[in-house]
Amino acid sequence: MLSVMQIFKIIFGVILSAFILTILLRFSLSYEEIGESSREVEILMGLKKTIEDVYTTGISTDFDLGSEDLVNFYSPPNLVTSVTDVNLDPVPTLFVPGERISIHRGEYDLGWWKFYFVHALPEMRIIFVPLGTSETVWKIAENITKYLPSTENTDAKVRFGVGCNETGETQTYLFLNWERDYFIRTVLTYLFVEGYEFVQCKPIEGYRIITISETPVDADFQVVPIDDDMGYVYVRDIQEGSKTYLYKNPLDIVSILLGGSKLYDYENERFLKELSIASSLASRESSLLRIKARNPDCNIIYSRFTQVLGSLKSEIEEGNYRNEDDMKELNKRIRESSGIYQELEEMGC
């Protein structure tokens, strides 16, 4: 028969074993969590490095994040995740979360300066709904498409379409699933020349619909041009409500489409900051080249170029990218600077 002491030892041993087992189990779980967090951080750092490489080289690539939930959301320039926030600066990045994304470099070319940025996007379908036959409306569809990536050489595709037509309760989407360059070169050109007309599209899951018309209509995402360069974007969002944005170029529209107000503000701040720096550097270079120019005509053109760059910098510093008059003046200076630079090239200065 067991003594009281022996029974106590047995009970104590069981309790001690259970305690040790619990500690080991907790340690094991903590170790697994640390290991998983380390792997996620490694993936995020790899993504940042890949974005930087694409920005530098211009060579597009795919990147597998392993899970579409790894990045909670993008608050430019930060990828917000459960393990850490990753700052993508100094690369201006148009990022949309997803499991597998394609990464591409884009550019906004003024001739004398290029603004480089990076798209990092999951598979995406975009439908344009041009209302009417106005050349301006169709040209905007083309210009927006130019500032989205060509994904012919990557697995995660961004494809384009135009639509739609309706017959009673049936909605038909036309000309879907095209790659960017063919869509611009062939599809849009054909539809415009043939005088195709479309009606508004109802929302469809998995598609981003861009309605373009010369007057406001009832649409979730609508572009209304003022002229060939500028206009307004009207967005109706369940979370953010109805918002109105001024755009001065197609890159503004793309930023709103992909990331709403935060990406719109971030893209404008980066673009204008870099444009200001570039105009200062180009002005100094132009002043030096004017002094060295042997051709009197080149001397005059360099002087004009320097003057316009100075005006451009002033517009950037004093203007507001949400103000229509300010951006009209800014675009005027940009066009002047590009035109004068083209003169310099044609003159061989």
Helix (H, G, I), strand (E, B) or coil at 247: strand
More confident call, 203 vs 24? 203
Give the distance, in angstroms, between the CA of residue 141 and the centroid of all CA atoms in the same chain: 16
Mean pLDDT, range 85-97, rounded to an integer: 96
Checking if the pLDDT of 250 tops 50, the result is: yes
Confidence (pLDDT) at 337: 97
Output the six-digit token pair for 107: 């550019």
Output the six-digit token pair for 110: 């003024």
Whole-Å CA distances, 205 to 125, 171, 202, 219, 280:
10, 14, 10, 15, 46
Written as one string, the DSSP assignment of 253-290 is HHHHHHHHHHHHHHHHHHHHHHHHHHHHHHHHHHHHHH
Mean pLDDT, range 180-192, rounded to an integer: 92
Confidence (pLDDT) at 41: 87
Q: If you average pLDDT over every residue of the chain, what do you get?
A: 88
First to last CA, the chain: 111
What are the pLDDT digits (tens) for 269-319?
999 999 999 999 999 999 988 888 788 889 999 999 999 999 999 999 999
More confident call, 207 vs 106? 106
What are the pLDDT digits (tens) for 107-164?
999 999 999 999 999 999 999 999 988 899 999 999 999 999 999 999 999 999 988 7
Checking if the pLDDT of 200 tops 90, the result is: no
Output the six-digit token pair for 114: 């290029």
Whether the CB-CB separation of 252 and 264 falls below 8 Å is answered with: yes
Domain boundaries, the chain: 266-347
Mean pLDDT, range 211-238, rounded to an integer: 92
Checking if the pLDDT of 80 tops 90, the result is: yes
Checking if the pLDDT of 222 tops 60, the result is: yes
